[in-house]
């Protein structure tokens, strides 16, 4: 329930965060499971948020295990279908817990679900594929194939025009589905894992090289048309945006979580900001103006995004 609510709430919020979100191979968003989404990982939790928001069917995710340490965070992440994967830096005693995660991942796929794996194994602000790919996804896929679960692999490349600028352009390039086309019963798991990673890396590299076309500058008359509402939107939203930007900048100094935190706090604070302004207007000018900021301010915010 929570994951479904967030899926559509984030879809409503993204037009105020990104100037454009373009898809290549958009029909792949309707793919059914059992399916593994093999995705690059340039921009922290925002990468997972984007795929969860736009894939038609629910998505389960493998996420870094250290963020599951706090009880209420662990509960929340579990509710939105995240599964912890632990690394050596999390402590050798944690590595054994990965067996449970791999088994839950297999169960998701056995039930014709969709599992997202960041195959590079770590997040870094980058625009090129980080090799070698990790063995987590091949391990799960190999286990499924040997049990007759017809898992397929969908390579996906996410590219951002900037990791810190607001607003930004985002392009999501979705490749062709990869399937198992040979009898692996006589092959060692390590051999199968290598074959899976090689084919996945090749597909992702092809998607990486399909560079996004530069955004064309708007015609002068459109920029002039948007100028006044954009400036009004900037002024009205500055009391919310500027403090949030300052907080996010200080909280994420020298790491990759800035965009994720900005989107998260905007998603939950913006409705409260609108209602606060509506209540103030209602107190001074009467109830007919209560709905004015709820309708007009989001339009002004979008004008600023398009003008910028």
Tens digit of each residue's pLDDT (9 = 90 or more) over 143-195: 999 999 999 999 999 999 988 888 999 999 999 999 998 889 899 999 999 99
The domain 2-209: what is its CATH number? Answer: 3.40.1130.10
Residue 254: predicted pLDDT? 66
Q: Do residues 34 and 79 touch, judged by C-beta distance below 8 A?
A: no
Residue 75: predicted pLDDT? 81
Confidence bin at 139 (pLDDT 50/70/90): very high
Question: Mapping DSSP to helix (H, G, I), strand (E, B) and coil, where does residue 152 land?
Answer: strand
Indicate if the alpha-carbon torsion angle 11, 16, 17, 19 is positive or negative.
positive
pLDDT tens for 232-284 read 999 999 999 999 999 889 888 868 889 988 998 998 899 999 999 999 988 88
Task: Mention every residue, 6+ apart, whose C-beta is less than 8 A from residue 128.
Answer: 208
Task: Mention every residue, 6+ apart, whose C-beta is less than 8 A from residue 301.
Answer: 16, 233, 237
Confidence bin at 2 (pLDDT 50/70/90): confident
Q: Do residues 167 and 66 touch, judged by C-beta distance below 8 A?
A: no
Structural domain boundaries in the chain: 2-209, 220-307
Residue 15: predicted pLDDT? 92
Q: Do residues 225 and 304 touch, judged by C-beta distance below 8 A?
A: no
What does the chain come to in residues? 308
Confidence bin at 303 (pLDDT 50/70/90): very high
């Amino acid at each position: 329930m929570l994951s479904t609510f967030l899926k559509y709430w984030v879809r409503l919020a993204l037009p105020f965060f990104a100037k454009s979100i373009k898809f290549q191979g958009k029909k792949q968003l309707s793919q059914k499971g059992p399916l593994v989404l093999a995705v690059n990982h340039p921009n922290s939790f925002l990468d997972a948020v984007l795929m969860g928001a736009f894939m038609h069917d629910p998505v389960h995710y493998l996420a870094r295990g250290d963020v599951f340490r706090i009880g209420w965070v662990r509960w929340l992440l579990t509710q939105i279908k995240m599964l912890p994967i632990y690394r050596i830096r999390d402590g050798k005693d944690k590595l054994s817990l990965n067996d449970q995660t791999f088994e839950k991942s297999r169960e998701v796929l056995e039930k014709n679900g969709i599992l997202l794996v960041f195959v590079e194994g770590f997040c870094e602000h980058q625009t090129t594929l980080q090799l070698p790919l990790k063995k987590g996804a091949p391990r799960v896929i190999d286990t499924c194939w040997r049990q007759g679960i017809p898992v397929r692999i969908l390579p996906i490349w996410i590219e951002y025009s900037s990791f810190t600028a607001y607003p930004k352009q985002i392009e999501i390039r979705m490749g062709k589905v990869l399937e198992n086309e040979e009898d692996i019963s006589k092959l060692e798991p390590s051999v199968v894992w290598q074959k899976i990673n090689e084919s996945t890396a090749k597909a992702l590299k092809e998607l990486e090289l399909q560079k996004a076309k530069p955004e064309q500058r708007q015609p002068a008359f459109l920029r002039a048309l948007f100028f006044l509402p954009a400036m009004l939107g900037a002024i009205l939203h500055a009391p919310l945006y500027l403090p949030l930007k300052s907080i996010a900048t200080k909280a994420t100094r020298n790491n990759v979580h800035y965009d994720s935190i900005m989107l998260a706090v905007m998603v939950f604070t913006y409705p409260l900001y609108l209602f606060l302004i509506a209540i103030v207007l209602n107190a001074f000018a009467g109830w007919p103006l209560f709905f004015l900021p709820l309708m007009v301010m989001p339009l002004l915010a979008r004008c600023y995004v398009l003008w910028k």
